[in-house]
Structure 1
Amino acid sequence: MSLTKSILARLRRLRRDESGSGTVEMVFMVPLLCWCLLSTISYFHAYRSEHVATKAATTLADMVSRETEYITPSYLNGMRGMLRFLTMSDTVPSYRLTVIMWNEDKNKYVVRWSRERGDKPTLRTSDLPDISNQLPLLKDQERAIIVETWTDYVPQYEYNLGLNEFEFESFIVTRPRFSTQLCFAPTAETDPVDAKC
């Protein structure tokens, strides 16, 4: 038997031999299964965090829509603490509370007042055309409340599963429920003439 025939015969035997294939398959599949499991957990955690951030923003919007007293700086600080509690965030989330009004004569939305807690600027009337597609149709002089929140998200695992740190943004528009407007005052004892409504 020649050397070539001997090598070919051994290769044929090797091709038919299935001993040890389970070990080889396990070596290939276990890391893949672990990666799939951890990816599923990470993406579930990210979607859950986004859902919680949106629910927290909705809770804040509902809270201020029912308010009949002045919104004060201490009230705004309390809202930020509540936002952090509701989002269970390690970092302190930012938010912005804005009251807008539709001015029929000028045919545009007007910011009545805007306050923020965090690193975002207050909203101005000149910013409203950029978000006008997110604003409801209002009657002349009717007011609406905008609550925007920004919550940082940090992935649960340090190695890269396709998720990086990013920021969840929520944008909620509601209207005052028990009064016609929501007013801001530097203190609870402010004279009604000095309040911004």
Structure 2
Amino acid sequence: MTMTRFRSRLRSDQRGVAAIEFAIVAPVLVVLLLSVVTYFTAARDDHQAKRAAFTVSDLITRQTSVDTAFLTLARQILIHTSPTSASEPALRVTSVSRPVDAMTVDWSYATPPFAAMTSVAVPAARLPAIAVGESLIVVETDAAYAPAFPIAGLVLPRLQNLTSARPRLVGRIARTN
């Protein structure tokens, strides 16, 4: 067998081509699949963290007064309704009112790393406008997020939420100790 014949037979042989193509394409497809799973899991967990914050906000706005034991219970509800892929969430609940021109803080409850709010540090654009004499409950949550597949570019480092709602039964929710 001459060398030229051997080369032409080798070039025309198609056995194993599919395996080589699969070896080239498979890693790209696996990374793409894991990226899609990570992205949609992060979106789902972010949505679940927002729902947990809204649940706590809704629970508090249905009260006429709250105490530390009730707010601790609200935090436990937040922990149980938050995504399992996130760390234990921190919570800050603040009652904000507008007696005259500027908003003031009536009371604030916080768990680390949050500190109790003493002045309205939330940008006004993130809060709804309230009339003079009205109040607002502001609920902030924060949790570290750990994606199942930490692929570069698709990492959501924190699940941070801010929600606000008006008290439902009274003009201002009182805090008792």
TM over 0.5: yes
Structure 2: distance between partners of 1:54 and 1:20: 51
Match of 2:66 in 1: 71
Residues 114, 20 of structure 1: CA spacing in aligned structure 2 closer, same or farther, 3 A cutoff?
A: same
Structure 1: distance between partners of 2:6 and 2:118: 81
Structure 1: distance between partners of 2:173 and 2:3: 89
Residues 8, 108 of structure 1: CA spacing in aligned structure 2 closer, same or farther, 3 A cutoff?
A: farther
The answer as to whether partners of 1:77 and 1:117 remain within 8 angstroms in 2 is no
Match of 1:118 in 2: 112
Give 1:161 deviation, angstroms. Answer: 4.5
Q: Show structure 1 runs of 4+ deviating over 4 A.
A: 6-17
Residues 126, 48 of structure 1: CA spacing in aligned structure 2 closer, same or farther, 3 A cutoff?
A: closer
Equivalent positions of 1:1-197 (< 5 A) are 18-68=14-64, 70-89=65-84, 91-104=87-100, 107-125=101-119, 127-128=121-122, 131-157=123-149, 160-164=151-155, 166-186=157-177
TM-score (norm 2): 0.86
Larger gyration radius, structure 1 or structure 2: 1
Structure 2: distance between partners of 1:59 and 1:126: 22
What amino acid is the match of 1:102? R
The answer as to whether partners of 2:93 and 2:110 remain within 8 angstroms in 1 is yes
Number of matched pairs: 175
Give 1:29 deviation, angstroms. Answer: 1.2
Q: Secondary structure at 2:107's aligned position in 1?
A: strand
Q: Considering only aligned residues, what root-mean-square deviation do their CA atoms show, in Å?
A: 2.4
Uncovered stretches (5+) of structure 2, i.e. residues with no partner: none
Residues 126, 8 of structure 1: CA spacing in aligned structure 2 closer, same or farther, 3 A cutoff?
A: farther
